[in-house]
Amino acid sequence: MNNSMTSTLQAPPQGLTRAMVLLFAFCCGAIVANIYYAQPIVELIAPDLGLSAQSASLIVSLTQIGYALGLLFLVPLSDLIENRKLMIATAVVAGLSLLAAATMQHANGFLLLSLIIGFSSVSVQMLVPLAAHLAPEQSRGKVVGNIMGGLLLGILLARPLSSLIADHFGWRAVFMYAALVMLTIVVLLSLTIPRRVPDARATYGQLLKSLATLLNRHAVLRQRALYQGLLFAAFSLFWTTAPVELARHHGLSQTQIALFALVGAIGAIAAPIAGRLADAGFTRRASLMAMMLAPASFLIGLSTPGYSVIGLAVTGVLLDFAVQMNMVLGQRAVYALDPASRGRLNALYMTSIFVGGAIGSAMASALYEHDGWQGVIAIGAGLPLVALGVFVLAESKGAKAR
């Protein structure tokens, strides 16, 4: 295929095959896991590096801030540079950063590496728009939903895997393992991912300036980014504090915490369901359900005596389901706005999500130490309630306008 053609894709004429969808899903899950490995083991990492209990969640929040910065400054390049080369380069940096983190002895150095790990793990958000480009319109939601299912499984399985490895081999082994996975991903990307040469003729500076234009132009982008940012803040708050609560007040070991986190992975089934609902035209109803379920998940868990491990598990599963469903619904809506700008639209959408996640993680340790689990419940339920209120207001205004 001639590289001078717009958005040149060296891919099968029928679009994405089932095997390619599975490959995309695996790569997305394996890459995004990098920003979650530290979440359940901060209480092991922090004392080893000399970080206080109140500062421990900085490890998680800096990784998410790095990811948000990567989304803002690296992902737009996918509308300018050949995608496969860009993804391979970022994956190499991620692998080297993970290897360095495994051997780092100083707190400040580790925190800096946490930022770089997040910054360089954004190739996942280049893979998803590439899949959207390859998929036919009538099945785009299904394809994106299936790939997001892999991504979300990576998010959800990273925590139990990290806890399990740390319990048996120490926390540094987690980062060694992650570095080896990234080496595998680099090989897979090199051999199997189709090339895409974007048709953009703008400079990098012009692309970055266009982000503000896109954000100003598309109300749907602003709304979906706000909804998901608030939900993801609650998600990060819960999953940063839940392992601490389980270890301190329920006596669970790292292996038992791994099993607990594995239960939360059930929520990943929401992604393909959401994609099919979006394709069928049920985005509004499904979004309303997701934004009602997220705050309810914290309150439902309270119905079990003493907020038991079972109650925590119920909250984890329902919250994960709500957050993953709303994420895919938002992504489907955002991708439909402007096919030529999907990389930048995705960058803006996902940046807002991980800014929300970083805020949730950053407040986690201090909130938990000061107000305990009741404080986590109050803020965790309150954040998605704000999203629900804004959503209902926006829909009522839209209905009047129609």
Quote the pLDDT of residue 256.
Answer: 86
* Structural domain contains residue 7: no
- Per the listing, tokens 């999953």 go with 239
pLDDT tens string 286-325: 899 999 999 999 987 665 555 688 888 888 888 988 888 8
Inter-CA distances, 219 with 10, 127, 316, 333, 349, Å: 34, 25, 31, 11, 12
Q: What is the CATH number of the domain that holds 65?
A: 1.20.1250.20
- For residue 335, tell me if it sits in a domain: yes
What proportion of the chain, given as a percentage, has pLDDT over 90? 37
Q: Is 3 within the bounds of a domain?
A: no
* pLDDT for the residue numbered 400: 64
More confident residue, 122 or 13: 122
Examine residue 85 and state whether it is found in any structural domain, yes or no. Answer: yes
Please tell me the least confidently modeled range out of 247-251, 278-282, 297-301. Answer: 278-282
pTM for this entry: 0.77
**The predicted structure's pLDDT at residue 34:** 96
Q: Domain for residue 287, yes or no?
A: yes
Query: Distance (Å, rounded) from C-alpha 108 to C-alpha 365?
Result: 18
CA–CA gap between residue 173 and residue 168 (Å, rounded): 9
Ranges 20-29, 149-158, 284-293, 320-329: which has the least confidence: 149-158
Q: Give the count of domains, the chain.
A: 1
Does 62 reside within a domain? yes
What digits encode the pLDDT tens for the residues 185-218?
A: 999 989 988 887 777 677 888 888 888 899 999 9
- What percent of the chain stands above pLDDT 70? 91
The whole-number average pLDDT for the span 154-171 is: 89
Q: What is the pLDDT of residue 276?
A: 76
Asked if the structure places residue 31 within a domain, the reply is yes
Report yes or no on 8 lying in a domain: no
Q: Which DSSP string do the residues of 114-172 spell out, in sequence order?
A: HHHHHHT-TTHHHHHHHHHHHS-GGGHHHHHHHHHHHHHHHHHHHHHHHHHHHHHH-HH
Regarding predicted confidence, which is higher, 39 or 172?
172
343-362 average pLDDT score: 86
Q: How confident is the model at residue 268 (pLDDT cuts 50, 70, 90)?
A: low
Its domain, for residue 386, covers 15-401
Q: Do 124 and 153 meet the contact criterion of CB atoms below 8 Å apart? A: no
Average pLDDT value over all residues in the chain: 85
Q: Quote the tokens at residue 210.
A: 């266009």
